[in-house]
Amino acid sequence: RRLAEETLALARARGIGLGREAVDQAVTMARAMPADVRASLAHDLAAGKRLESDWLMGAVARLARDAGIEAPANETVAALLAPWKNGIGDQRSGSRPAEQKDRGEPGR
């Protein structure tokens, strides 16, 4: 919800007329999905692929900064995913995503 609320605030700051119902609809849709459904970003992270986080949460964070508003949740998620944004070969910490560790999958 917080990511969507920050995105809504950014849209409004940039003159895009979205209403509060946009956040409510997005949250309702996400909650209605089956428990085993995961976002494509989660699939990419687990597979060690390049992430789209720079174009999603990272973009919201940058555009919010440019608009003079805060987007701390988007900034935090983008920062947490940064070690894997170019795929598993770009890790600075040397660790693998938790899902791979749990399954004992080798890193690439």
Task: Report helix, strand or coil for 40.
Answer: helix
Residue 74 structure tokens: 């988007």
> How far is C-alpha 34 from the geometric centre of its chain's CA atoms?
19
CA–CA dist 59, 55 (Å, integer): 5
pLDDT of residue 98: 52
Q: What angle do CA 63, 58, 47 make, to 5 degrees?
A: 160
pLDDT of residue 8: 96
Domain segments of the chain: what residues?
A: 2-103
CATH architecture of 2-103: Orthogonal Bundle (1.10)
pLDDT of residue 96: 53
Instruction: Map 30-88 to HEC letters.
Output: HHHCCCCCCCHHHHHHHHCCCCCCCCCHHHHHHHHHHHCCCCHHHHHHHHHHHHHCCCH
Q: Please give the chain's pLDDT, 108 residues, in tens.
A: 999 999 999 999 999 999 999 999 999 999 999 999 999 999 999 999 999 999 999 999 999 999 999 999 999 999 999 999 999 854 554 455 555 444 444 443
